[in-house]
Chains A and B, each alone.
Chain A
Amino acid sequence: ENMKNTTVILVFVVATAVKILLIPAYKSTDFEVHRNWLAITHSVPLSRWYYEDTSQWTLDYPPFFAWFEWGLSQVAAIVDPEIVRVDNLNYDSATCILFQRFSVMVADLILLYAVIEYCKHQRSIDKQHEWSSLSVSILVLMNCGLLIVDHIHFQYNGFLYGILLLSVTRMLQDRYGEAACLFAALLNFKHIFIYVAPAYFLYLLRKHCFMSSSGSVNGIHTRRFLPLPFIQLGILVVAIFIASFGPFIYQGQLGQVLSRLFPFKRGLCHAYWAPNFWAMYNLLDKLMTFFGTILGLAPSSGSGLASGLIGEHYHQVLPSVSPLVTMVITALTMTPCLAKLWLQPTPSHFLKALILCAYSSFLFGWHVHEKAIMMIILPMCFLVVKDHSYFNTFLLISTSGHISLFPLLFQPAETLIKVCLFIAYSMMTFALFKIRSQKSGWTYGCTLSPFQLLYIVVLVLVQVYCTFLHGGLGFLKRYEFLPLLMTSVSCAVGVIWSWVLCYHDFLANQKECVV
């Protein structure tokens, strides 16, 4: 059994070697954020965790993540007590950097475990699993987005996505209780995973708590509601939430915790616009304002193409958007796929619906971070190694998604590295699928359509402009936000395009795929 995992472990070791090489890379303010949380959870009593604000980076993740930081802080205190001093702002000695970087690498072991479990699942259902094991290992463990965000920029997404992928695997294996528990726990680590909660809820409800009269769960005839499984799942999930929020409810701090978790005052878009629908909406608004001012139709206002910072963004021409509106639109766009999931609850439909929910929330959500693109890409890695018809879509989202992460690393040294990592990853992805298509002789090719090829070329040209030319052309220097805007909008095209392809395939495709 262990011998069969060697490929996965080998890929993980190679990825870890690269991560070690990236230790001295640029680290963002997120490094200080997590150091601060280590300090808070270690030095401050539980009752003050969500009140502590010596540093501007207050605790805004759910309690399980705080406990995770608490666990790490116990080790940190031994390694270097200076790390866990609350007032030691912006502390980044060599030991601190080594400790935190290694903590991310060690946490990634959970991602490794998730991939191993997925490969084990593949072995039981598929004769030709060697290629899928290798592919999923490379696609997930060597994902350049994870390398850029986790190991350079600094975050802990690796192990969180490990928990997500593990719970997805358990769903595919029909182990519903474990899947529900894992997902509930995940929500208590980082509440952004609520983006995909509808898929979980509906699938579990339909699959686990309803029985069709003919005995086959796929039937759409009379359904019988089974109260017992529902209560079982309910108790498990509620228990997990109580374990997480319980101590804070007991101290009457629930309001404070929730206000930290859901800061709705932050504005429709992040400081850097995530490549979603609202980015294009903002652009349209700015263009209309711009042309409106030129044509004398609208009064000119202070903000031009130059602005785009965090904060309340007031649209000039198009109607303003409130959080409620985004929630309604997100729910509306999710409805078709959730409906199909309800009517035909199969494992592959669950995975596809999960991805589509992530898409909807990303494209239409309030204050979306660009890093949330990983919630689309990583589950799609699981899908594309089994259902090869998604290769085009995957290549599109992978390319535009990873390029949209480029603005996170703007220093010259990391600029070269991010481009190299991206090219290496994309070439490996392409090669893996080409090898597979040659071996099994597919009818639908692994080639990009001419439009997709053109789009990728345009993306690359935009990036070339943003990296090299914008700084050089003096007269455009006033518009500092222009490269970010161009990156965001050009990637949004790819994200929306792949979303449409994905949705179309999900709704129209009748062929069932074993996942």
Chain B
Amino acid sequence: LFEHTPALYSAILVSVVAFTVRTCVSLHPYSGAGKPPLYGDFEAQRHWMEITYNLPISEWYFNTSRNNLEHWGLDYPPLTAYHSWLCGAISFQLDPHWVALETSRGHESYAHKLFMRRTVLVTDLLLYFTAVWAFVHVLFRTQPVTHKVGLAAVLLLQPGLILIDHGHFQYNCASLGLALWGIVAVSSHFDLLGSVAFSLALNFKQMELYHSVPFFCYLLGKALRSRSPTQKVTLLGITVVTTFGVLWLPFLADMETALQVLRRQFPFERGLYEDKVANVWCTVSVFVKLQRLLSAASVLRLTLFTTVAAILPSSWALLRNPTPYTFILALGNSSLAFFLFSFQVHEKSILLAALPLSLLAHWHPFASLWFGVLASFSMYPLLTRDRLALPCWALSLLFLMLSLAFLQIRQRRVSPHQKLLFAGCVGLLLATCSLSHLVTPPPKYPHLFPLATSVVSCVQLLGFLGYLHYLQFTAGDGKDIKTHNE
């Protein structure tokens, strides 16, 4: 096997290593472990399996006697619901007590945890791993094997993603994997398939909206440059609408159901931000309490305005210069802009920005390294609550070593200025994280350390936003990649 296809052998080896790391992280506690009555995201996912398996579709998103939306009501789009139904069906076959209606609330057992962890592992393998290898193989066809394998390794060992999916417990690998498939397809001129993939991603998690504007602009930009723009645009439109239609079919029976599903996904009644997030508004609120100055509606308008303003420049640049490289840059810009300026942002949404930044590893390995570490530590307060602090350090260390090796492979020199900047910024971030364990905060400022972490991360994220904009505006026409049909 090794002689004939060293590329395949290395691909399998890297995948096995990445898979092994995930199995090791799976040993650690999940979100809300041992914390009744609500527990955490793990219980939420289990509850959705219970709801979708036991109840008819008409009741999934509604507050009924059998479905109490207060206890982790379904608030993701239909594809997550279907995925939960599938997992629930398998779960029922293994042990009915895991998804028994009402009685399985807060169920915690060794076997059940193992089962849930394995569902994430399988989903990860099927959607994310395949997408990474497709990305590496399709977009970097002409690169030497070591570069391709190194890039795949960096993509597969992103600390933030592994920690959230296999530690905290979520299925980001599904939506990010589908989005990555979309990126791959669209970059190699399989636009229709790409838009199907992205529509699926969007229907798995509504947060993928962070990526939607660049997808739209890229496809539009390419369509406008093609021979028959109107035809292309209509085809794309039809594809997207059909995909949505197929997935939402059970919910389009009447207006009320469709609206309820939408309402569950976009709960605008909640506050500007829920927790201490590395977001501009959270940082600003340290000094100026926006909620007290402005009404809820004005806050909403403010965030909308700033978000749109932040997205416009890169979207415009993408429309004018649609290449795979600028597309990925625009994805980074858009997701960062949404993360920094949008409404009701969760710290886990940094993963949406981490994906495009990781894809840039081939062109900008140092920036990619920096962002990977930054992303995982920006979530440190969340991870500490889940008792995932040690895995965070371990995985980030592993990722750092790997990225340094990749830097060597790509033969990129890091200037002393960059090293100093990195050491200073990330060092400060690591210091705030470590101090949160060693020092008890003064009673007047109980949230000192999460806030400090968020502020330090936010400043660096703003820096990345500026850097990515600079890169996008100075990008030439089609960088050093040869894709399928160019």
A residues touching B (Cβ–Cβ < 8 Å)?
10, 13-14, 16-18, 20-25, 412-413, 416-417, 420-421, 423-424, 427-428, 430-431, 434
Within the complex, the shortest CB–CB distance from A295 to chain B, in Å, comes to: 45
Q: In the complex, A428→B13 CA distance in Å?
A: 7
**B24 contacts A by Cβ under 8 Å:** yes
**Contact in complex: A430, B390 (CB < 8 Å):** no
Which of the residues B13, B23, B394, B402 comes within 8 Å of A417, measured between beta carbons? Answer: B23
**Contact in complex: B23, A420 (CB < 8 Å):** yes
By a CB distance below 8 angstroms, the chain A residues around B2 are 430-431, 434
Which of the residues B27, B110, B402 comes within 8 Å of A22, measured between beta carbons? Answer: B27
> A10-B401, A413-B27, A431-B2 are known contacts. Are A423 and B16 too (CB-CB below 8 A)?
yes
By a CB distance below 8 angstroms, the chain A residues around B390 are 20, 23
In the complex, besides A20-B390, A21-B27, A420-B20, 4 extra interface pairs with C-beta distance below 8 angstroms are: A24-B29, A412-B110, A427-B16, A431-B2
| Chain A residue with the shortest CB-CB distance to B399 | A17
| Chain B residue with the shortest CB-CB distance to A10 | B401
**B395 contacts A by Cβ under 8 Å:** yes
**Contact in complex: A21, B391 (CB < 8 Å):** yes
Which of the residues A20, A421, A424, A431 comes within 8 Å of B394, measured between beta carbons? Answer: A20
Q: In the complex, A417→B20 CA distance in Å?
A: 6
| Chain A residue with the shortest CB-CB distance to B117 | A413
Q: In the complex, A116→B7 CA distance in Å?
A: 31
| Chain A residue with the shortest CB-CB distance to B121 | A416
By a CB distance below 8 angstroms, the chain A residues around B395 are 17, 21
**B17 contacts A by Cβ under 8 Å:** yes
Q: In the complex, A25→B397 CA distance in Å?
A: 20
Q: In the complex, A475→B418 CA distance in Å?
A: 67
Q: Would you list 17 pairs from A and B whose C-beta atoms are within 8 A, ordered by A residue? A: A10-B404, A14-B401, A16-B397, A17-B394, A17-B395, A17-B401, A18-B20, A18-B24, A20-B393, A24-B29, A413-B114, A417-B23, A417-B27, A424-B17, A427-B12, A428-B13, A431-B10
**B262 contacts A by Cβ under 8 Å:** no
**Contact in complex: B26, A413 (CB < 8 Å):** yes
Which of the residues B6, B12, B21, B405 comes within 8 Å of A18, measured between beta carbons? Answer: B21
By a CB distance below 8 angstroms, the chain A residues around B6 are 434
Within the complex, the shortest CB–CB distance from A463 to chain B, in Å, comes to: 16
Residue among B3, B394, B402, B404 with max Cβ neighbours from chain A (10 Å)? B394
Which 7 pairs between the two chains have the least Cβ-Cβ distance? Answer: A20-B394, A420-B20, A21-B24, A17-B398, A17-B394, A427-B13, A24-B27
Q: In the complex, A155→B28 CA distance in Å?
A: 21
Q: In the complex, A153→B303 CA distance in Å?
A: 53
Q: In the complex, A20→B397 CA distance in Å?
A: 11
Which of the residues A16, A20, A430 comes within 8 Å of B391, measured between beta carbons? Answer: A20
By a CB distance below 8 angstroms, the chain B residues around A431 are 2, 9-10, 13
**Contact in complex: A24, B397 (CB < 8 Å):** no
**B39 contacts A by Cβ under 8 Å:** no
By a CB distance below 8 angstroms, the chain B residues around A420 are 16, 19-20, 23
**Contact in complex: B16, A424 (CB < 8 Å):** yes
Within the complex, the shortest CB–CB distance from B92 to chain A, in Å, comes to: 19
> A14-B398, A431-B10 are known contacts. Are A24 and B28 too (CB-CB below 8 A)?
yes
By a CB distance below 8 angstroms, the chain A residues around B110 are 412-413
Residue tally, chain B, CB below 8 Å to A: 34
Interface residues of B in 1-50 (CB under 8 A from A): 2-3, 6, 9-10, 12-13, 16-17, 19-21, 23-29
By a CB distance below 8 angstroms, the chain A residues around B24 are 18, 21-22, 25, 417
Q: In the complex, A325→B61 CA distance in Å?
A: 75
**Contact in complex: B23, A424 (CB < 8 Å):** no
By a CB distance below 8 angstroms, the chain A residues around B27 are 21-25, 413, 417
Q: In the complex, A123→B20 CA distance in Å?
A: 33
Q: In the complex, A10→B29 CA distance in Å?
A: 28
> A24-B27, A424-B13, A434-B3 are known contacts. Are A10 and B405 too (CB-CB below 8 A)?
yes
Q: In the complex, A382→B141 CA distance in Å?
A: 38
Q: In the complex, A194→B415 CA distance in Å?
A: 54
By a CB distance below 8 angstroms, the chain A residues around B111 are 412
Q: In the complex, A431→B149 CA distance in Å?
A: 14
**Contact in complex: A17, B397 (CB < 8 Å):** yes
By a CB distance below 8 angstroms, the chain B residues around A10 are 401, 404-405
Q: In the complex, A428→B397 CA distance in Å?
A: 20
**Contact in complex: B114, A421 (CB < 8 Å):** no
Within the complex, the shortest CB–CB distance from B210 to chain A, in Å, comes to: 30
| Chain B residue with the shortest CB-CB distance to A9 | B401
> A18-B21, A24-B28 are known contacts. Are A13 and B401 too (CB-CB below 8 A)?
yes
By a CB distance below 8 angstroms, the chain B residues around A16 are 394, 397
Q: In the complex, A416→B6 CA distance in Å?
A: 26
Q: In the complex, A22→B29 CA distance in Å?
A: 12
Within the complex, the shortest CB–CB distance from A40 to chain B, in Å, comes to: 29
By a CB distance below 8 angstroms, the chain B residues around A20 are 390-391, 393-394
| Chain A residue with the shortest CB-CB distance to B17 | A424
By a CB distance below 8 angstroms, the chain A residues around B23 are 413, 416-417, 420
Within the complex, the shortest CB–CB distance from B408 to chain A, in Å, comes to: 10
By a CB distance below 8 angstroms, the chain B residues around A14 are 398, 401-402
Q: In the complex, A233→B3 CA distance in Å?
A: 50
By a CB distance below 8 angstroms, the chain A residues around B114 are 412-413
By a CB distance below 8 angstroms, the chain B residues around A430 are 2
Interface residues of B in 404-439 (CB under 8 A from A): 404-405
Q: In the complex, A55→B438 CA distance in Å?
A: 35
**Contact in complex: A21, B21 (CB < 8 Å):** yes
By a CB distance below 8 angstroms, the chain A residues around B391 are 20-21
Q: In the complex, A298→B110 CA distance in Å?
A: 47
By a CB distance below 8 angstroms, the chain B residues around A22 are 24, 27
Q: In the complex, A18→B28 CA distance in Å?
A: 13
Within the complex, the shortest CB–CB distance from B389 to chain A, in Å, comes to: 11
By a CB distance below 8 angstroms, the chain A residues around B3 are 434
Within the complex, the shortest CB–CB distance from B26 to chain A, in Å, comes to: 7
Within the complex, the shortest CB–CB distance from A188 to chain B, in Å, comes to: 34
Within the complex, the shortest CB–CB distance from A502 to chain B, in Å, comes to: 24
| Chain B residue with the shortest CB-CB distance to A24 | B27
> A20-B391, A413-B114, A427-B13 are known contacts. Are A421 and B20 too (CB-CB below 8 A)?
yes
Q: In the complex, A21→B391 CA distance in Å?
A: 6
Q: In the complex, A421→B404 CA distance in Å?
A: 23
Indicate with 1 or 0, residue by residue over B83-114, a CB within 8 angstroms of chain A CB atoms: 00000000000000000000000000011001
| Chain A residue with the shortest CB-CB distance to B26 | A413
Q: In the complex, A420→B17 CA distance in Å?
A: 8
Q: In the complex, A128→B80 CA distance in Å?
A: 54
By a CB distance below 8 angstroms, the chain B residues around A17 are 394-395, 397-398, 401
Q: In the complex, A17→B159 CA distance in Å?
A: 12
By a CB distance below 8 angstroms, the chain B residues around A413 are 23, 26-27, 110, 114, 117
Which of the residues B12, B13, B19, B25 comes within 8 Å of A21, measured between beta carbons? Answer: B25
Within the complex, the shortest CB–CB distance from B169 to chain A, in Å, comes to: 15
Within the complex, the shortest CB–CB distance from B27 to chain A, in Å, comes to: 5
By a CB distance below 8 angstroms, the chain B residues around A23 are 27, 390
By a CB distance below 8 angstroms, the chain B residues around A416 are 23
| Chain B residue with the shortest CB-CB distance to A14 | B401
Within the complex, the shortest CB–CB distance from B31 to chain A, in Å, comes to: 15
Residue among B3, B27, B393, B404 with max Cβ neighbours from chain A (10 Å)? B27
By a CB distance below 8 angstroms, the chain A residues around B25 are 21
Q: In the complex, A416→B19 CA distance in Å?
A: 10
By a CB distance below 8 angstroms, the chain B residues around A21 are 21, 24-25, 27-28, 391, 394-395
> A412-B114, A434-B3 are known contacts. Are A424 and B20 too (CB-CB below 8 A)?
yes
By a CB distance below 8 angstroms, the chain A residues around B401 are 10, 13-14, 17
By a CB distance below 8 angstroms, the chain B residues around A421 are 20
Q: In the complex, A431→B1 CA distance in Å?
A: 11
Indicate with 1 or 0, residue by residue over B260-278, a CB within 8 angstroms of chain A CB atoms: 0000000000000000000
Interface residues of B in 112-135 (CB under 8 A from A): 114, 117
By a CB distance below 8 angstroms, the chain B residues around A25 are 24, 27
Q: In the complex, A416→B23 CA distance in Å?
A: 7
